[in-house]
Structure 1
């Protein structure tokens, strides 16, 4: 109970909880909509999803400042690739949160003349760019971890023997794929923060890709991805040591 209280006392913790509720409602409404006699339940789920989505905008009003601070910190990252990717990603997050604030102003009626669709497209575009840059950083970190795993494996094992003369190209490609997947598994298994960050970014990017028309998904896929991402975010809030950091 104390851990739950500490979690909900944090703004990010409450936002992740609300976000998980929002995407759970989206997923459930998608699953129940084709079923007969579930119209009232689906309508209530969609209303709850809309209410939670509106409420979450309050938690994001101060995120512009946090994104600016993250940008300043990422500039000093020691490695070049993470420094460039994180800095550009955080700049895009700053613009995204600015667009999100403008949309909130429009939703509460303070500026009804704002073009909602235009600002929503801008927000989705910059959010997508931020996630793509974050995934590029994840891929860079994964490649480093795979290199370490390969060196460790080479040190433990003797040099591999050459295959028989009759070994086909297809067999060699299969062995290469198996070795690659094994290295990837070992790299992610030995680095839980990297695994969490990669899964979270992959799940998050489904929504902006759908909004921009780049890769269409149904509400069920988006809801499932958002729920998985929210659960990963809740883990990161509850256990900050699992947050991916640049060495």
Structure 2
């Protein structure tokens, strides 16, 4: 119980709790619709998802500035691939959040906002940010794979590398670098959400809800266990 209170007192931790409830509600609404539940049940679950989604937009106010600071830090990284992917990713995330703030003002009636247009704009920035983060995750796994092959070559210098050796090196890299592996799965699941919203992939709200649930749980795991968080990120 103490661990839960400690986690929920963290702003990022609270967001992941609400995010999990949001996408669980989305999945539950789809599941209820598929199994012929009453329209009232589906409506209640849909309204819960929308209410939490709007609340999370409020909680994220000011987070765009944090992303811009992260982008400035990433510029100074020694590794040029990390510097490029993380700088552009954080910049796009900042734009996504900035537009998100604007959409929230429209939802609560402070401004007149074309919700469809600006939601699409926000989704494009978010999608690009996630794609760059996936590239960063794959790069981290590639480095781990190369190190594994180097270790194997030192142990047996005259051996030739075959497909089997490469697959073993990749599997070893996945175990050796769980931070990148978890991050890759998390970002891969998240990509489905804006890609589906933009019509890039054709899927249903059940798949979107499930992907959101998985990525929320993995993000919560990274927050709870800092050793599983990929750095720099």
| TM-score bin (small chain) | over 0.9
> Which residue number in structure 1 is paired with residue 228 of structure 2?
242
> Which residue number in structure 2 is paired with residue 94 of structure 1?
94
1:42 to 1:182, Cα distance in 2 relative to 1, 3 A: farther
Does structure 1 residue 79 correspond to structure 2 residue 79? yes
Deviations 1:79-115 (A, max 9, x none): 0000000000011011111110000010010012x22
> Which residue number in structure 2 is paired with residue 23 of structure 1?
23
In 1, Cα distance between equivalents of 2:23 and 2:179: 23
Which of 155, 167, 171 is matched with 1:181 structurally?
167
> Which residue number in structure 2 is paired with residue 226 of structure 1?
212
In 1, Cα distance between equivalents of 2:209 and 2:229: 23
In 2, Cα distance between equivalents of 1:36 and 1:120: 30
Number of residue-to-residue matches in the alignment: 233
Shift of 1:42: 2.2
In 2, Cα distance between equivalents of 1:128 and 1:161: 40
> Which residue number in structure 2 is paired with residue 127 of structure 1?
126
In 2, Cα distance between equivalents of 1:37 and 1:28: 11
> Which residue number in structure 1 is paired with residue 14 of structure 2?
14
1:154 to 1:214, Cα distance in 2 relative to 1, 3 A: same
Shift of 1:183: 2.2
> Which residue number in structure 1 is paired with residue 187 of structure 2?
201
Shift of 1:161: 7.3
In 2, Cα distance between equivalents of 1:196 and 1:207: 18
Shift of 1:38: 4.2
In 1, Cα distance between equivalents of 2:204 and 2:37: 22
Instruction: Tell me: higher relative CO, structure 1 or 2? Use CA pairs within 8 A at least 6 residues apart.
Output: 1
1:103 to 1:84, Cα distance in 2 relative to 1, 3 A: same
> Does the residue aligned with 2:34 lie in a helix, a strand or coil?
coil
Q: Which protein shows a greater Rg?
A: 1
> Which residue number in structure 2 is paired with residue 63 of structure 1?
63
Deviations 1:3-61 (A, max 9, x none): 11111001111100000011111112212212134433322211211111111111111
> Which residue number in structure 1 is paired with residue 155 of structure 2?
156
The TM-score with structure 1 as length reference comes to 0.88
> Which residue number in structure 2 is paired with residue 39 of structure 1?
39
> Does the residue aligned with 2:29 lie in a helix, a strand or coil?
helix
Shift of 1:159: 4.2
In 2, Cα distance between equivalents of 1:120 and 1:180: 42
Does structure 1 residue 54 correspond to structure 2 residue 54? yes
Shift of 1:150: 1.3
**Consecutive unaligned residues in structure 1, runs of 5 or more:** 163-174
1:85 to 1:109, Cα distance in 2 relative to 1, 3 A: same
C-alpha RMSD over aligned residues: 1.9
